[in-house]
Amino acid sequence: MTNNIKEQIKNDLQQAKQTGQLRTERIREIVKSALSQVVSEFKEGSTELRTLVKDAVSTVVENLQEKGGELKEEVTASIEGALEAVNSKRHENIARTQAEVKQLQAQLDDEEDKIQQEVDGILTEIQDTSTEKSTSSKTAIESAVNTIKDSEEVSLLKKRYAQLRAQLAIVQANLAARYGGRSEEVKGYLDEAKKWFNQEARPQAEAVVTQVQEKSSQIDEKIGEAGTAIAKKERQIRQILRELLLAAADKIKEKEPANK
């Protein structure tokens, strides 16, 4: 079986040379296609599967040595193709699990919204009863209700939660891109990151607002670049994702607005 895979990779590489299509993306697809036909016959993580991957990469190196010069890009592409092939089943499982997680998250969000509505209703009723109280009691009740409604701690927690969820999604996009995830999987994580950045509670101090808006624009731009790179299947995607992760890390270090 190993010899069959080697022969297929060799023939596909030769054909790509003859047609002038021997680019890194094509090498990646050749290795992925060859291994995808047999990986299901091996146990995940088995010695035989690892040997098959090493042989596939070696075959690429052997057939491209005549090019001379640096082969790093070609070898990297062959490894990426092999990883995507052997991990395809795991990534399918990840995609299903992610869909389940999103469904559960939606249920949690719905329950939290109901709690918030219930709290708001209770606070409104309490505030309405203050009209029958003395001036001092009315002032105390209104002050207490406003304190609960406008809690800076709650606002900060929501902001940090959104930032962390967005950053986690970017980390997942990086891992998926690095270890053979499908383009749909990477794009899904980027969409998730953008959603949480858009939901993030903004600081109120004007001096900080401008800074945050600039950082958000930078992140939106990087997410857009990453999406374009995915669509074109460019290997540039990894560099863009690294830059996006750094931008997100900087964002989470933003100074909090000064207490009013």
Return the exposure string of 30-60: e unless at least 16 CB atoms fall within 10 Å of the residue's CB, then b.
bbbebbeebbeebeeeeeebeebbebbbebb
Q: How far apart are CA 48 and CA 2, in angstroms?
A: 10
pLDDT along the chain (260 residues), means of 10: 84 91 89 88 79 91 78 88 86 85 88 87 82 78 79 76 87 82 82 83 42 61 79 71 79 53
Q: What is the reported pLDDT for 69?
A: 64
Distance CA 68, CA 42 (A): 35
Residue from 152, 179, 169 nearest 260 by CA: 152
- Cβ proximity of 180 and 84 under 8 Å: yes
Other Cβ atoms within 10 Å of 248 Cβ, number:
24
Return the ∠ at Cα 82 (arms to 91 and 40), rounded to 5°.
60
Q: Which two tokens stand for residue 197?
A: 């950045």
